[in-house]
Amino acid sequence: MTDPAAAEAAAPAVATVEAARERLDAVDGTPVADHVAVYEEVHDVLQGTLAGLGS
C-alpha cells in the first residue's frame, strides 16, 4: 500500500519526469545536431529530480 503523504511529496517529481519524457518525445521533430543538447538537458533535469527525492 502506498503512503499518501509520500505519494503527495513525490507528485512534483512525477510531473517533472513526465515533462522530461515529453521533451524526449519531441526530439524526433528537431535536427539531429540538437539532440545531444536535449539529452543533456533531460539528463540534468532527471538527475536533479532524483537528488531531490533522496533528501
What does the domain layout of the chain look like in residue ranges?
Answer: 4-53
pLDDT of 7 reads 78
Say if residue 38 is exposed, middle or buried (CB neighbours under 10 Å; 0-12, 13-18, 19+). middle
pLDDT at 47 over 70: yes
Instruction: Round to whole Å and give the CA distance between 14 and 18.
Output: 6
Give the model's pLDDT for residue 4.
83
Amino acid at 11: A
More confident residue, 54 or 35: 35
Per the prediction, the chain carries an average pLDDT of 90
Give the separation between CA 31 and CA 16, rounded to whole angstroms: 24
Please tell me the predicted confidence (pLDDT) of residue 8.
81
| pLDDT at residue 23 is higher than 80 | yes
Structure confidence by residue, pLDDT tens digits, 29-45: 899 999 999 999 999 99
What is d(CA 44, CA 20) in angstroms, rounded to the nearest whole number?
Answer: 10
